[in-house]
Chain A
Amino acid sequence: MHIDYFALPFKIGLAYLFVIVAVRFVRLILGLSRIDKIRIWKSVLTNKSLISIREAFMEGLLHRKIFRINPVLGYMHMSLAFGWFLLIFVGHIETIVHTKSMAFPFHMPIFYRYFVGGNNQVYLSGFFPFMMDLILLFVLSGVALALLKRIRSRYFGMKKTTSLKSGDRIALISLWLIFPLRFIAESFSAGIYYNGSFFTQTAGNFFRSFLPLEQLQLPLWWAYSISLGLFFIALPNSRYMHIPAEILFIFLRNFGIRLKKRYNTYSLVQVYSCSRCGICLDTCQLNDANIKNTQSVYVLKNIRNNNLTDETLFNCLLCGRCQQVCPVGIETNDLRITQRIESTRQYNSSYEYLKEGEIRNADVIYFAGCMTHLTPSIKKSMVDILSYAGINYWFMDEEKAPCCGRPLMQAGQFDAAQKLISNNQQLIILSGAKQLVVSCPICYKVFKEDYVLHDVEVKHHSEFLLELAEKNIIKPVRIPKRVIYHDPCELGRGSGIYEEPRELLGRYVDLIKIKNEREDSFCCGGSLANIKIQMHERDKIRDRALDEYMKYNPDFLVTSCPLCKKTFSKGLDIQVHDIVEIVAESVSAERKQARHVQKKQEVSLQTELI
Chain B
Amino acid sequence: MSKFGFSIQETRTIDFEQFDGRLLKYVLEHEPSFRVCLSCGGCTATCSAGNLIDFNVRKMNILIRRGETEGLEKEINKCMLCGKCMLVCPRGINIRNVVMLIKKGIVKFRTIEEPHEKLKLKCHAY
Contacts and interface: CB of A to CB of B under 8 A. Distances in A.
Interface of A: 310-311, 314, 344, 346-347, 349-351, 353-354, 370-371, 373-374, 400-403, 407-408, 411, 413, 420, 526, 528, 531-536, 566
9 A-B pairs closest in CB distance: A535-B92, A349-B77, A370-B82, A403-B80, A403-B82, A347-B103, A353-B53, A528-B83, A407-B81
B48 A374 contact: no
Interface of B: 30, 33, 46, 48-49, 51-53, 77-84, 87-88, 92-94, 96-97, 100, 103-104, 106-107
Contacts of B51: 400
A525 to B, nearest CB: 12
Contact of A402 (B48, B87, B94, B100): B48
Nearest to B31: A532
Nearest to A349: B77
Contacts of B83: 370-371, 407, 528
Given A347-B103, A528-B83, A536-B92, A370 B48 contact: yes
Contacts of B81: 403, 407-408, 411, 413, 528
Given A353-B53, A370-B48, A374-B88, A411 B82 contact: no
Contact of B52 (A344, A374, A402, A407): A402
B80, B88, B93: most-surrounded residue (chain A CB, <10 A): B80
A349 B78 contact: yes
16 contacts: A347-B107, A349-B80, A350-B77, A370-B82, A371-B83, A374-B87, A400-B52, A402-B49, A408-B80, A528-B82, A531-B94, A531-B96, A532-B97, A534-B92, A535-B33, A535-B94
B84 A371 contact: yes
Contacts of A407: 80-83, 96
A403 B49 CA distance: 8
Contacts of B106: 347
A351 B78 contact: yes
Contacts of B49: 402-403
Given A349-B77, A402-B52, A344 B104 contact: yes
A225 B104 CA distance: 53
Given A373-B84, A532-B94, A403 B48 contact: yes
A349 B46 CA distance: 20
Contacts of B104: 310, 344, 346-347
Q: Chain B at the A interface: mostly helix, strand, loop or mixed?
A: helix
B41 to A, nearest CB: 16
A353 B100 contact: no
Nearest to A375: B87
A468 B34 CA distance: 46
A411 B92 contact: no
A533 B49 CA distance: 23
A351 B84 CA distance: 18
B37 to A, nearest CB: 13
A370 B51 CA distance: 11
B117 to A, nearest CB: 22
B84 A370 contact: yes
B115 to A, nearest CB: 18
A370 B82 CA distance: 7
A531 B100 contact: yes
Nearest to B97: A531
A534 B95 CA distance: 10
Given A371-B84, A413-B81, A531-B100, 6 more contacts: A311-B30, A400-B52, A402-B48, A528-B81, A534-B33, A566-B87
Contacts of B82: 370-371, 403, 407, 528
Contacts of B84: 370-371, 373-374
Contacts of B92: 534-536
Contacts of A531: 94, 96-97, 100
B52 A349 contact: no
A194 to B, nearest CB: 70
A411 B87 contact: no
A146 to B, nearest CB: 40
Contact of A420 (B80, B93, B94, B100): B80
A314 B100 CA distance: 11
Contacts of A314: 97, 100
A98 to B, nearest CB: 67
A411 B96 contact: yes
Contacts of B79: 349
A566 B84 CA distance: 11
A441 to B, nearest CB: 14
B66 to A, nearest CB: 22
A373 B47 CA distance: 11
Contacts of B78: 349, 351, 353
Nearest to A531: B97
Nearest to A399: B51
A526 B30 CA distance: 20
B111 to A, nearest CB: 8
A402 B48 CA distance: 7
Contacts of A349: 77-80
